[in-house]
Amino acid sequence: MKLSEILFEEILYHVTSKRRLRSILRNGLKVQAPKDMEDVAGVYLFGSKDDAEEAVMNWLGDRFDEDEELVLIKVDGDKVVDRSSSAAGYEVISTKDIPKEGIIGYETI
CATH for 80:
3.20.170.30
pLDDT given at position 79: 87
- What mean pLDDT comes out for the span 37-53? 85
- In the chain, the number of structural domains is 1
Which ranges in 1-109 belong to alpha helices (H)?
A: 3-7, 21-27, 49-57
Give the residue numbers spanning the domain of 104.
3-108
Residue-wise DSSP of 22-37: HHHHHH-BPPB--TT-
Confidence of residue 65 (pLDDT cuts 50, 70, 90): confident
Q: How far apart are CA 27 and CA 38, in angstroms?
A: 22
* Predicted TM-score of the model (pTM): 0.83
